[in-house]
Amino acid sequence: MKYQRILLKLSGEALMGDKQFGIDNVRIMQYAQEIKAVWERGVEIAIVIGGGNIFRGVQAEQGGMERTQGDYMGMLATMINSMALQSALESVGVPTRLQSAIEMKQICEPFIKRKAVRHLEKNRVVIFGSGTGNPFFTTDTAASLRAIEIEADVVLKGTRVDGIYTADPEKDPSAEKYDVVTFSEVFEKGLNVMDMTAFTLCNENKLPIIVFDMNKSGNLMRLVQGDAVGTKVEF
């Protein structure tokens, strides 16, 4: 396996599948199976999941809600997704631990870096809920931060598109996909990988990112085996 310890970032929206809101059972079970296959090969897996299928802080602000309030609600939304993913993984026999950046001790452990690493070493999949626990940060930033803390080899950003393009492929038909791109090219060309806070954290800590289509079966496995899937951002 090319990667021994990965941080997998999943989008909340992707959990909706074909639905307009919430969690699609088929989709979440499909993710659980993909993750299980990689886990069975001994890869240490940490996961951060977004909450956009349930609540988006930024949109709530546009509707007049105070930003921090909306952001905290978004963090709770990530907990709902994290709990659902935890159940899905356990239902297929994968041991998990859920840690939250905001303490909710009746529901899960608090985030404790050393404990998280210990869980990974014992082959438990660790899910980090509640983002970073702070407003004004995204779950992409939580993914970068946690990946750096647990010394993951790579951040795998699973999305609905299959990589990074020269322009938005949905708006510009001439947009071309990169197989590999450097951090400085992303800065220079203003490419859309993650928000800048998340991206800068990875850049400053020499953590590569791979953006890939998580909905294509087998992609996750191919990636950790070292196949060229999606777009890799490297140095």
* Residue 108 touching ligand GTP (CB under 6 A): yes
Residue among 113, 122, 189, 206 that touches ligand GTP (CB under 6 A): 122
> CB of residue 118 vs ligand GTP: minimum separation in angstroms?
6
Cα separation, 137 vs 183, in Å, equals 21
CA atoms within 13 A on the CB side of 141: 15
- Is position 112 an interface residue for ligand GTP (rule: CB under 6 A)? no
Cα(76)–Cα(43) distance, integer angstroms: 28
Q: Tell me the closest approach of the beta carbon of residue 129 to ligand GTP, in angstroms.
A: 12
Task: Measure the CA–CA gap between 155 and 5, rounded to whole angstroms.
Answer: 9
Are the C-beta atoms of residues 52 and 12 closer than 8 Å to each other?
yes
Nearer to ligand GTP, 89 or 224 (CB): 89
Write down the least CB distance from residue 76 to ligand GTP, Å. 16
HSE, side-chain direction, 13 A CA sphere, residue 51 = 28
| Residue from 204, 224, 211 nearest 148 by CA | 204
Q: Does 113 bind ligand GTP (CB under 6 A)?
A: no
Q: Which residue from 1, 92, 107, 175 is in contact with ligand GTP, where contact means CB under 6 A?
A: 107
Does 105 bind ligand GTP (CB under 6 A)? Our answer is yes
Q: What minimum distance in Å lies between the beta carbon of 74 and ligand GTP?
A: 22
Q: Cα separation of 35 and 12, whole Å?
A: 16
| Positions in the binding site for ligand GTP (CB under 6 A) | 97, 105-109, 118, 122
